[in-house]
Amino acid sequence: GAKASGRNCARVFDPSDPESSDESENIAALLKIAIHHDLVSLVYQPIEDLASGRHDSVEALMRLKTLDGNIIPPSLFIPIAERTGSILELGRWAIRTVCRDLLADNHVQTASVNVSPIQLKTPGFAASVAAILYETGVAGSRLAFEITEGLEMEKHSEVLRCISDLKTLGIKIWLDDFGTGFAGLSWLRLIDFDTVKIDRSFLHDSVSVRGEAMLQDIIGLIRNRGPRILVEGVETSVQLALLRTMHIDAVQGYHVGRPAPAELYHRRPTSGAKSLPV
């Protein structure tokens, strides 16, 4: 167990104890060596365009494992990576890896990458992205950056300038997890998003009549601004049938496909297939 941990016996990750500072320190240390030790990877989850039925867009999701192979969820390691600054190196790695995977895949048109507010606020971020595009030869238009509506408004002029630079590179900007806080509405007014992703919590509530009305209201709010609307977390055919009646542009969720490594992604058809869980 954890008590016996020595040099060659890493402490076992305990998800029931996420606040443990020991655990955070271990993860912080792991994040520093993750890229060189091949402990970090990306999985891709398909996005279905409802009009065409095609799965020609994917979201890249980061995975981290410990030296002894335990999986640490992003909800745990991303906040630590943000706090310690590791997110900058990991974020560049993710964008470069997505670009390389895109070059190897003719079916997937666009890949979206989650980008932390820390990255957007770091001077030179857009330039580092431009360098990756140049180095890999991938068109910026094949990338979308998902920014979370939790992004704080302080320093927002820097963020807005960065977003405008990214758009100049052809990169699309998506708003992630819409509806989880109030900031999303402000960002919707400030930024011309290509796509807004409605948080999956709205879908889970929409089994009730009241939940469905809430979802309609949210869609109305976004619709007036003009972006494409995607609903996250679609898990059942009942949910999908409901969304088809609501003028949604795209859906993502376990019902459409589970996140899978690029190697698996290449081998599956662009539409209609269920992927293997990761």
Residues that bind ligand C2E (CB under 6 A): 45, 61-62, 73-75, 78, 94, 114, 116, 146, 176-177, 200, 232-235, 253-254, 259
Q: Which does 99 bind (CB under 5 to 8 A by kind): Mg ion, ligand C2E, none?
A: none
Distance in angstroms (rounded) separating the CA atoms of residues 51 and 4: 56
- Cβ closest to ligand C2E, residue 184 vs residue 233: 233
CB of 149 to Mg ion, least distance (A): 9
Q: Pick out residues in 132-151 that bind Mg ion (CB under 5 A).
A: 146
Q: Per the structure block, which two tokens stand in for 185?
A: 């509405």
Sign of the dihedral defined by the CA atoms of residues 43, 60, 139, 119, in that order: negative
CB of 4 to ligand C2E, least distance (A): 30
Distance in angstroms (rounded) separating the CA atoms of residues 253 and 205: 15
Residues sharing a CB contact under 8 Å with residue 205, sequence separation 6 or more, in sequence order: 211, 214, 215
CB of 51 to Mg ion, least distance (A): 21
CB 204 within 8 A of CB 217: no
- Cβ closest to ligand C2E, residue 16 vs residue 75: 75
- Cβ closest to ligand C2E, residue 26 vs residue 45: 45
Q: Stretches 95-103, 110-118, 203-211, 236-244: which one binds Mg ion (CB under 5 A)? A: 110-118
- Cβ closest to ligand C2E, residue 73 vs residue 226: 73
194 counts as binding Mg ion under rule CB under 5 A: no
Distance in angstroms (rounded) separating the CA atoms of residues 136 and 142: 12
176 counts as binding Mg ion under rule CB under 5 A: yes
Q: Which does 48 bind (CB under 5 to 8 A by kind): Mg ion, ligand C2E, none?
A: none
CB of 50 to Mg ion, least distance (A): 18
CB of 123 to ligand C2E, least distance (A): 18
- Cβ closest to ligand C2E, residue 37 vs residue 204: 204
Q: Which does 73 bind (CB under 5 to 8 A by kind): ligand C2E, Mg ion, none?
A: ligand C2E
CB of 177 to ligand C2E, least distance (A): 5
Q: Which does 179 bind (CB under 5 to 8 A by kind): ligand C2E, Mg ion, none?
A: none
CB of 99 to Mg ion, least distance (A): 18
Q: Applying CB under 5 A, which residues contact Mg ion?
A: 114, 146, 176-177, 232
